[in-house]
Chains A and B, each alone.
Chain A
Amino acid sequence: MLELNSVTQQFRNNQKETVTALSDVSLKVQEGEFVSIVGPSGSGKSTLLFITGALLRPTKGEVYLMGEDIYAHPASYRAGLRLERIGFVFQTFNLIPYLNALDNVALPAVLTTGSRRKATEKAEELLRRFGLGHRLNHRVSELSVGERQRVAICRSVINEPALILADEPTGNLDPEMTHEVMNLFAELNRNGITVIIVTHEEAVASYAERVLHLRGGILQNGG
């Protein structure tokens, strides 16, 4: 369902030098897989995730999502893709600070269905399912870090995406919360969603069926 074809990403840093964040990365992920990519900080994990998630056009190479070359399409099409087919979870700042948990989760559904009521109903159902029924109307600042991550996961799945991309989703969590959150991803994966997680922790990566290693922008045991 996902295929990266010799993807290379270069940046210009502040000193105007060219930094190669990813070099010639190729990767194939089948539908329903749970893949984790492990690498130290600066190895290009976030870059890889942004490129996969239609947020960053690679310097070289193509990305196929469900058979489509996503960067052959205009930016507005890719925005639609992110809204409907892809769910993102980041390490921090996943939520809009002035919305409560319910509105944060509902937001993508409001944008697709145009119905606030339907979106809110669905969001509430998700939050309850993930044990956050008592936090519906809490502001982001009133939630614990672990709760915020779970809210973010609810938000990422509300539009029933085919693919979830998570960037160090447990980076700020204690071992217990990490376990809980990783189990959520595993559960979503069992329900048929393809999940890709990038992390610098081998322990976190081991929740996945397939573990890949990224070092210095190079994918070690290619998929």
Chain B
Amino acid sequence: MNLQILPLLLKETRFRWVVHLLTVCLIAFVVSLLVTQGSLNRSAEDKVNELTHKLGRGMLVVPEDTDLQQFYLMRYGAETMPEDYSDRIESSHLGKHIQVIEPRLYGNLTVQGMDVILVGRRLQFPVSSDSRHELVVIGSGLARRLGLSSGDNLVVNNHKLRVFAIVDPPPKGYDMAIFAPLKTAQRILGTPGRINALHLSGCWCELDVPALAAKVESILPGTMAITVDGMAKAQIEIKSTMEQYSVIFWIAGGVLVTASIAFLLFYLIHKGRREIGLLLSIGMSPGRIVIKNIIISVATAVAGALAGYILSIPLMSQAGRMFMRVSLSPSAQVLPWLVAVITGAALLASFIPSWYISRLDPTKLLREE
């Protein structure tokens, strides 16, 4: 029965298309932010999980001021510690429990406008005949983007480097990385004699791990030693802060979407109040007019959500590159939340026409000149 009002509805929408378009744009904008945030959250979580997994039974020692969350997301701060910490731990009484000690200097670089991760580590290269170029290994992604192959030269922060090899496939997350000897990395980053991570591994199966971490920290002042336990704790913290932000963000988004639809409906009813008076006078029931407006609000919300989801695809890839150095796409896990927010907003906003129209007096509307 109510299908009869559809042509009327379409024509009305076309008549007042500007305000519809504005509302759809506004909703699309909000939705794209929600989808981006939600998807970033998901991938940050995945990333932390992956790192925890990588750490395994090992231990990570970093300067105590390190922002771990950022560190896990491969955004490295300026905090460093002396390179000789690796010798100090090796020669300590704990040395016999630790098989592998890996000093590292991680950093972020921009090479020809691209974000690149620099990994300084112990690397042995054959003695180079050309002393003006320092040898490095690069991830295949970077090689592809810069069009480099083995033996080619590149300049990073005024340092002349030569590609010794290309890692293909690169370790996950190191697609756009430069692996350099510690000394080279220190020169590039301008931190001679400093490192910002120490990876320890060994068999401390029979040892009390938290106690071991405390001992490491006392031998290496100004550091924190992170184990899987610590990592899990940090992860829970990250998750809870992210969740807090998410909830606020999504509530704010929901409120904004509701407000936009409410505004649209208010505007339409207000602008069209004489038409409503006329429709009532020719015998259209208030119920039908309310339904007409509910259809408008739901359709606008859905159109906005679709547009927003599509808009979030380029936004996500941009945000992913900015915050995580990977190209991300909207996570399908966000969809149920999105549908919930949009439906809720549309339904909430539809109370407005019902309320407003029940308050309209057609005789007053028809008297208006």
Chain B: how many interface residues by the 8 Å CB criterion?
28
| A26 CB–B CB distance under 8 Å | no
| B326 CB–A CB distance under 8 Å | no
Residues of chain A lying within 8 A (CB to CB) of residue B228: none
Per-residue interface assignment for chain A, residues 67 to 83, with 1 indicating a CB less than 8 Å from any chain B CB and 0 otherwise: 00000000110011111
**Bound-complex Cα distance A10 to B114 (A):** 77
State which residues 90-147 of A face B: CB under 8 Å: 90, 92-99, 103, 107-108, 110-111, 114, 116
Contact between A53 and B281, CB atoms less than 8 A apart = yes
Chain A: how many interface residues by the 8 Å CB criterion?
33
A50-B363, A55-B362, A93-B274 as given contacts; A107 in contact with B282, CB under 8 Å = yes
B165: min CB distance to chain A, Å: 69
Of B15, B278, B279, B283, which contacts A98 at CB under 8 A? B15
Contact between A79 and B280, CB atoms less than 8 A apart = yes
**Bound-complex Cα distance A116 to B280 (A):** 20
**Bound-complex Cα distance A90 to B363 (A):** 11
Residues of chain A lying within 8 A (CB to CB) of residue B274: 93
- Cβ-closest chain B residue relative to A86: B283
| A155 CB–B CB distance under 8 Å | yes
Q: Which residues does A use to contact B, with CB under 8 Å? A: 46-47, 50, 53, 55-56, 75-76, 79-84, 86, 88, 90, 92-99, 103, 107-108, 110-111, 114, 116, 155
Contact between B12 and A98, CB atoms less than 8 A apart = yes
**Bound-complex Cα distance A222 to B233 (A):** 91
Interface segment out of the listed B3-11, B305-313, B340-348: B3-11
Contact between A82 and B12, CB atoms less than 8 A apart = no
State which residues 274-324 of B face A: CB under 8 Å: 274-275, 278-288
**Bound-complex Cα distance A67 to B9 (A):** 37
Residues of chain B lying within 8 A (CB to CB) of residue A76: 285, 287
B19: min CB distance to chain A, Å: 13
| B367 CB–A CB distance under 8 Å | yes
A152: min CB distance to chain B, Å: 10
B334: min CB distance to chain A, Å: 37
A103: min CB distance to chain B, Å: 7
